[in-house]
Amino acid sequence: MFFPATKYVFGRGVENKVAEELDAFGMKKPLVVYGKGSVIKSGLLDRVRKSLDNAGIRYAELGGVQPNPVDSKVYEGIEIAKREGIDSVLAVGGGSSIDTAKAIAAAIPYDGDFWDFFCGKSKVKKALPVGVVLTIPAAGSEGSGNTVITKLDGLHKLGMGSDVLRPKFALMNPELTFTLPPYQTAAGITDMMAHIMERYFSNTPEVEITDRIAEGLLKAIITEAPKIIAEPENYDARANIMWSGTLAHNGVCSGGREEDWATHGLEHELSAVYDVTHGAGLAVMFPAWMTYALQENPGKLAQFARRVFDIDEDDDYKAADEGIEKLKKFLSSIGMPVSMKELGIENPDVKLLAEKVTENKGEVFGNYIRINRDIAEKIYCIAAQ
Amino acid sequence: MFFPATKYVFGRGVENKVAEELDAFGMKKPLVVYGKGSVIKSGLLDRVRKSLDNAGIRYAELGGVQPNPVDSKVYEGIEIAKREGIDSVLAVGGGSSIDTAKAIAAAIPYDGDFWDFFCGKSKVKKALPVGVVLTIPAAGSEGSGNTVITKLDGLHKLGMGSDVLRPKFALMNPELTFTLPPYQTAAGITDMMAHIMERYFSNTPEVEITDRIAEGLLKAIITEAPKIIAEPENYDARANIMWSGTLAHNGVCSGGREEDWATHGLEHELSAVYDVTHGAGLAVMFPAWMTYALQENPGKLAQFARRVFDIDEDDDYKAADEGIEKLKKFLSSIGMPVSMKELGIENPDVKLLAEKVTENKGEVFGNYIRINRDIAEKIYCIAAQ
């Protein structure tokens, strides 16, 4: 089932339509959720406030959301939302603000603890409507029903999803991303590539349509990314990257296949333990996962190498191996780390990481290859080299 | 703006969920719209009726919709709908049934003549909800807000669209397409390719993401189509083709670009005057349009040739020319005509066709190249060769 029911409004100045879209979806008193940095400095938050004030829309606010958003901020938002009688949530920012907004939206109509949804104790059946003004193309949360939150007690970083959490609308102005620093831009690009690859590396046969879409998106990202790094205010390149971040995660790359998501699980522990940027952690963990997977299951890795990086090599193992090297080179070229050392982690506790990942993902996880604690440790060791 | 708000339910047996989905979208008394052939013979219509009966859902019926659906059937449906007090429309079939369903859905809440929407006199602002059980992957109407109807008086074949006409749900079981005859299967495949190409051939620069998606879909269709022709009950190939028909037309290939749609205009006159199958008409008209466009604007045609057909040729003109030949060969290989003669039209009245197309599309139409009556006549002449 694929129900991509988000209204995407794309282009210059679309953030000024925020009051209009809230009204269109009957969102009368939103909780505005945002971070602590650029949305404030850039003046965007003030412009959103003014739009709401001018339209006579009352709202409450939850600011200070941090990257790798945490449960304490969700609880804070729930309290404000209940106190103020809000009926909807408006995220102004990137994945962290949107994911926090979704968690709050799911929590309000639910009697129990919102963490129940994340630890699998309960499923989201209804939620307050969520709207988005997007400033960071990366997580794809603006077009998905997913959210990832870290529980501070024990540093459990877990995700959950439901179609009812898909944002009602997403206002996407590529200009709002002009001022993203190069490192964050590159981390976002890595994140969207990872979202595509988590779906792409699958043993489901005969999914040519979805394979070709995934490969096409990856090829396009690889073409557009260097343009942005060289020229941060290139509107067209920013627009292409912004849109690919959405398509990477809204389900159009999922169609009919078993997905993997092992690498996200492996990375989540890096983020939780060492507080690294999610995208940068993925730049380290994806090639490491691929290097291990190559030994067991080179087939799809070879197709990836041939179709995304145009590698002309008949032998699957060799083709796949070259593809991994090309991917690492690309990631390095946009300024991403491709080893834990480059990520600033000198002596990683691979045992702890492997223990935590199996604790959170299960004793055996992943689909393209199956990963237990031993294998997880091996993959972390590859990443540590 | 991109608001792909259709719920796609895909897989074996999903047609049995029809009552459930009608209920989920509050559709309490649908008008069931269908054609005259396979939905009846295959027993699908009876199964749908039984599902509705078992769920206690009352409904009215409009059968006998023909390919290239006509206004008289829409008027018949409007009358039944008003008399029976229906609140929604359920199409069981392909593009013709769905397009008829949409026209009725738009007409009911409107005071004037429904043709106003097609001749540009009025815009659709609201409509009854539409649901779909898809049996023919081709038109992509299950995921779009568009409808094309032919006015019998004067044989005007015109289209219109609105996001409010996007179906609420589409039940898509590839098994239902196993019995489609090879010619109709191939015509459907041509139609979906044409939907992608109408969007792809654009002068809008820097739309790499959407280009790559379009190219990926075309490549996948070219891979999957021969499998179906050889083996009509290949579920996976049927599934790939069914899904690509939706993606070809739901807007994911549109993102940020001016579209063309000249060839659809040119073909609509063929269908209206000579009553040919829409997809077969497109198989004739698309290469003809390309052959003319090549003289004026080879750039995107060359990209198409290189990326879709892997043509290794530096010169744009030569590459594009080879691409057109490859496309014709592909269409022939799946049993499609690539000239009017092969389509059974011996002495086409190219003057009449050119006159009618400018009457319906405007004195100058098309975007990738601009087409007036003279040029239209030239393109029809190329197709007639």
Interface subset of A 224-283, CB within 8 angstroms of B: 224, 236-237, 239-240, 243-244, 247, 252, 255-256
Is residue A190 pLDDT above 90, yes or no? yes
Identity (one letter) of the amino acid at A193? M
Judging contacts by C-beta atoms under 8 Å, the chain B residues touching residue A246 are none
The rounded distance, in Å, linking the Cα atoms of B379 and B175 is 38
Does A24 contact chain B (CB < 8 Å)? Answer: no
Taking all residues of chain B, what is their mean pLDDT, rounded to a whole number?
Answer: 96
Nearest to B209 among A1, A8, A244 (CB): A244
Tell me, what's the pLDDT at B360? 87
Q: With bands split at pLDDT 50, 70 and 90, how would you rate the model's confidence at A41?
A: very high
Tell me, what's the pLDDT at A72? 98
Q: With bands split at pLDDT 50, 70 and 90, how would you rate the model's confidence at A343?
A: very high
The rounded distance, in Å, linking the Cα atoms of B37 and B284 is 26
Tell me, what's the pLDDT at B275? 87
Element containing residue A308 per DSSP (H, E): helix A299-308
The rounded distance, in Å, linking the Cα atoms of A179 and A94 is 14
Residue A213 and residue B239: Cβ atoms within 8 Å? no
What string of H, E and C letters represents the secondary structure of A154-173?
CCEEEEEECHHHCCCEEEEC
User: Among all chains, which residue has been given the structure tokens 């834990």?
Assistant: A340
Tell me, what's the pLDDT at A256? 83
Does B21 contact chain A (CB < 8 Å)? Answer: no
Is residue B106 pLDDT above 80, yes or no? yes
Mutate to test the interface with A, among B169, B206, B208 (most CBs of A within 10 A): B208
The rounded distance, in Å, linking the Cα atoms of B254 and B207 is 10
pLDDT in tens, B263-277: 999 998 998 899 899
Report percent pLDDT > 70 for chain A: 100
Residue A224 and residue B239: Cβ atoms within 8 Å? no
Tell me, what's the pLDDT at A255? 80
Residue A247 and residue B252: Cβ atoms within 8 Å? yes
B140 touches B195 (CB < 8 A): yes
Taking residue B186's Cβ as centre, other Cβ atoms within 10 Å add up to: 26
Region B161-182 average pLDDT: 96
Q: How far is A248 from chain B (nearest CA, A)?
A: 11
Residue B220 and residue A239: Cβ atoms within 8 Å? no
Q: How far is B355 from chain A (nearest CA, A)?
A: 38
pLDDT in tens, A147-174: 999 999 987 888 999 999 999 999 999 9
Region A231-244 average pLDDT: 97
Judging contacts by C-beta atoms under 8 Å, the chain A residues touching residue B213 are 213, 216-217, 247
What string of H, E and C letters represents the secondary structure of B91-138?
EEECHHHHHHHHHHHHHCCCCCCCHHHHCCCCCCCCCCCEEEEECCCC
Cα of first residue to Cα of last residue in chain A, in angstroms, is 41
Does B115 contact chain A (CB < 8 Å)? Answer: no
Q: Find, in chain B, the residue whose alpha carbon is nearest to that of A244.
A: B209
Indicate the range of A29-33, B250-254, B290-294 predicted with least confidence.
B250-254
Judging contacts by C-beta atoms under 8 Å, the chain A residues touching residue B3 are 6-8
Does A162 contact chain B (CB < 8 Å)? Answer: no
Grouping H, G, I as helix, E, B as strand and the rest as coil, residue A34 is strand
Tokens standing for A265?
């699980």
Q: CA torsion, points A98, A100, A102, A106, in degrees to nearest 10?
A: -170
Tell me, what's the pLDDT at B157? 82
Region B153-158 average pLDDT: 84
Judging contacts by C-beta atoms under 8 Å, the chain B residues touching residue A1 are 7-10
* Cβ neighbours of residue B46 closer than 8 Å, sequence gap 6 or more: none
Region B338-345 average pLDDT: 96
pLDDT in tens, A85-119: 999 999 999 999 999 999 999 999 999 999 999 99
The rounded distance, in Å, linking the Cα atoms of A189 and A137 is 8
B10 forms bridges with which residues in the sheet?
B172
Q: How far is A214 from chain B (nearest CA, A)?
A: 8
Region A240-254 average pLDDT: 95
B100 touches B149 (CB < 8 A): yes
Nearest to B220 among A7, A208, A256 (CB): A208
Residue B216 and residue A220: Cβ atoms within 8 Å? no
Q: How far is B2 from chain A (nearest CA, A)?
A: 5
**Would you call B13 exposed, middle or buried from its count of C-beta atoms within 10 A (0-12, 13-18, 19+)?**
exposed
Residue B216 and residue A213: Cβ atoms within 8 Å? yes
